[in-house]
């Protein structure tokens, strides 16, 4: 039907105005072929039908009712399934890459309520969990959720396209007792209402009692199943499955891999979902060390870091939205080997050790040695990241993220500084950068220029001249090579001022 977006078999007149043209599943082959022909970047493969030959069976709760799905494609996103199969079109597609928040849903598991982006959430990631969409935010008798009522009363919507995502983020925050509304809603974009009435609605709803149909939401125990090779429940099962199928794609939070499917239209062919590996979600904090399992999400990483390394925790707050942090994992951020990943430089500056496993064999290495070259890591076929750890130490770490947007943007430069000063002299230094080379990399010449020297402006000036020996950054859409080098020099000066008690954070400047 011309001018009408199709959702399942029913036309959806409202969404045809506000969202990209969508096709029901029978039309997707043609759509993908057209996109493939038009795109010069889609050289990695065409994902016809959004599926591999693998099928899975999953069970979860949707808006309070149990749903069992046999023989689903493992790369079907929750957003597509909601809109095309269940005809729950309140959940919107905006960016389809986890940035805008229009597709936000509430997902509940044993750890509690999370706001997640349905557009990059694969159905198998929901196994044994509960999902609430905007259609399920209201009560069983139609009574509005306090968030919905506040949005109506305080005029928190205009075109309404982004509103379902805001409502679900706000409902999740209200259920969790979170009142840092700017942070909770940083992953939800609105281009017509303005944020003031939305924030006022969040503040009003925060004072209301959490509705019973939300507070009673919980994950449930699903029947035992045999698909441990696709969805292992421990690192041991994962090791066996990955050793047998080393070409499989490991899916942790899917904040990166999800875009391979939704944007690059890639056929993943074989997959292993890691969400069931509970031992990979463990955090250990002892007197000697901090250890994160590879599947620890970034919100939990941030909470653990807050009392230990506040600057690192603040960087984690900025580098992704609440929805992305709730899904993204520390292991995934390391394993993908990105030269602009924000965690590796900070961890390298802390002297982190990476723990790898292949079958029953384990090995550990300094994190900086894992990154060999652009797109190349020291990881054998069938080997995976099991954990990362770093020694407990006084908090001298400062992590500075430079990006065009303050929140939720890829870094042009990220600098992490960890310098020990005793009696006015530098006794140790670990300085690492992202965005300055093809890999996250230590500034070894800069480190050598400060170690053994007095902690003075003169030492800093001399060390700044050494950056040219450590880095030859490229020029790209985010920054020029000259800008990156000059920024790195400036960040060293900022660290000197920071460690000497001066205010350097942009949000604290007056």
Percent of the chain with pLDDT over 90: 80
For residues 210-217, average pLDDT: 92
Evaluate if residue 166 carries a pLDDT over 70: yes
Q: Give the residues across from 196 on adjacent strands.
A: none
pLDDT of residue 35: 42
For residues 293-314, average pLDDT: 98
Evaluate if residue 79 carries a pLDDT over 70: yes
Strands laid side by side in the 112-117 sheet: 65-72, 56-62, 130-132, 104-109, 112-117
Evaluate if residue 365 carries a pLDDT over 50: yes
DSSP, res 135: G
Instruction: Judge contact between 198 and 185, C-beta under 8 A.
Output: yes
- What are φ and ψ of residue 305, in 5° steps? -75, -25
pLDDT of residue 358: 98
Evaluate if residue 4 carries a pLDDT over 70: no
Evaluate if residue 334 carries a pLDDT over 90: yes
pLDDT of residue 504: 85
pLDDT of residue 496: 97
Report which of 467, 493, 495 is spatially closest to residue 481, judged by C-alpha positions. Answer: 467
Instruction: Judge contact between 103 and 91, C-beta under 8 A.
Output: yes
* CA-to-CA separations, 18 to 14, 40, 405, 496, in angstroms, rounded: 7, 27, 25, 49
* CA pair distance 183, 173, nearest whole angstrom: 10
Instruction: Judge contact between 68 and 57, C-beta under 8 A.
Output: yes
Domains detected in the chain: 52-223 (3.10.20.30), 235-277 (3.30.43.10), 401-510 (3.30.390.50)
Evaluate if residue 26 carries a pLDDT over 90: no
* CA pair distance 123, 18, nearest whole angstrom: 25
**What's the pLDDT tens digit per position in 240-295?**
999 999 999 999 999 999 999 999 999 898 999 999 999 999 999 999 999 999 99
* CA pair distance 77, 233, nearest whole angstrom: 22
Instruction: Judge contact between 488 and 412, C-beta under 8 A.
Output: no
pLDDT of residue 382: 97
Instruction: Judge contact between 252 and 297, C-beta under 8 A.
Output: no
Report which of 50, 32, 65 is spatially closest to residue 136, judged by C-alpha positions. Answer: 65
For residues 429-456, average pLDDT: 98
pLDDT of residue 510: 61
**What's the pLDDT tens digit per position in 335-348?**
999 999 999 999 99
Residue 158's pLDDT band (boundaries 50, 70, 90)? confident
**What's the pLDDT tens digit per position in 369-392?**
999 999 999 999 999 999 999 999
For residues 475-489, average pLDDT: 96
pLDDT of residue 110: 87
pLDDT of residue 21: 38
**What's the pLDDT tens digit per position in 102-125?**
999 999 998 899 999 999 999 999
HSE-CB of 474 using CA atoms within 13 angstroms: 11
Q: Give the residues across from 67 on adjacent strands.
A: 60
Evaluate if residue 227 carries a pLDDT over 70: no
For residues 147-167, average pLDDT: 95
Evaluate if residue 48 carries a pLDDT over 50: no
Evaluate if residue 51 carries a pLDDT over 90: no
CB-CB neighbours of 84 under 10 Å: 21
Instruction: Judge contact between 74 and 122, C-beta under 8 A.
Output: yes
Task: Give the chain's largest Cα–Cα span.
Answer: 77
For residues 162-185, average pLDDT: 97
Residue 405's pLDDT band (boundaries 50, 70, 90)? confident
């Amino acid at each position: 039907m011309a001018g009408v977006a199709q959702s399942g078999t029913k036309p959806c007149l409202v969404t045809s105005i506000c969202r990209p043209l969508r096709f029901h599943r029978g039309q997707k082959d043609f759509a993908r072929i057209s996109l493939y022909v038009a795109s010069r970047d889609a050289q990695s493969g065409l994902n016809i039908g959004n599926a591999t030959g693998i099928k899975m069976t999953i069970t979860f709760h949707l808006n309070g009712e149990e749903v069992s799905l046999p023989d689903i494609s493992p790369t079907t996103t929750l957003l597509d399934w909601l809109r095309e199969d269940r005809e729950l079109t309140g959940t919107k597609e905006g960016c389809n890459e986890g940035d805008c928040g229009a597709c936000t849903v509430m997902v509940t598991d044993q750890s509690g309520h999370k706001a997640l982006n349905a557009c990059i959430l694969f159905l198998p990631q929901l196994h044994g969990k509960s999902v609430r969409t905007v259609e399920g935010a209201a009560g069983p008798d139609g009574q509005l959720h306090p968030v919905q009522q506040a949005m109506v009363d305080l005029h928190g919507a205009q075109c309404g396209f982004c509103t379902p995502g805001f409502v679900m983020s706000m409902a999740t925050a209200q259920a969790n007792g979170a009142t840092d509304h700017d942070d909770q809603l940083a992953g939800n974009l609105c281009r017509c209402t303005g944020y003031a009435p939305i924030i006022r609605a969040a503040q009003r709803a925060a004072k209301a009692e959490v509705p019973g149909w939300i507070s009673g939401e919980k994950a449930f125990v699903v029947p035992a199943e045999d698909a441990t090779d696709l969805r292992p429940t421990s690192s041991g099962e994962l090791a066996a499955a990955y050793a047998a199928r080393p070409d499989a794609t490991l899916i942790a939070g899917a904040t990166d891999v999800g875009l391979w499917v939704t944007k690059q239209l890639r056929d993943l062919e074989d997959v292993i979902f890691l969400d069931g590996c509970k031992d990979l979600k463990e955090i250990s904090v002892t007197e000697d060390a901090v250890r994160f399992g590879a599947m620890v999400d970034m919100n939990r990483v941030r909470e653990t870091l807050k009392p230990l390394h506040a600057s690192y925790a603040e960087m984690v707050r900025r580098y992704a939205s609440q929805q992305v942090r709730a899904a993204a994992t520390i292991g995934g951020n390391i394993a993908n080997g990105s030269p602009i990943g924000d965690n590796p430089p900070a961890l390298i500056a802390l002297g982190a050790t990476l723990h790898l496993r292949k079958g029953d064999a384990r090995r550990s290495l300094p994190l900086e040695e894992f990154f060999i070259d652009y797109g190349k890591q020291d990881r054998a076929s069938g080997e995976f990241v099991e954990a990362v750890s770093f020694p407990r130490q006084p908090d001298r770490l400062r992590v500075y993220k430079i990006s065009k947007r303050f929140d939720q943007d890829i870094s042009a430069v990220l600098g992490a500084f960890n310098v020990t000063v005793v009696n006015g002299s530098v006794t140790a230094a670990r300085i690492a950068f992202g965005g300055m080379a093809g890999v996250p990399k230590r500034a070894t010449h800069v480190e050598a220029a400060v170690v053994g020297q007095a902690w003075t402006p003169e030492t800093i000036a001399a060390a700044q001249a050494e950056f040219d020996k450590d880095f030859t950054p490229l020029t790209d859409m985010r920054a020029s090579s000259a800008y990156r080098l000059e920024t790195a020099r400036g960040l060293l000066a900022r660290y000197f001022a920071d460690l000497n008690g001066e205010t350097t954070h942009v949000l604290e400047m007056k």
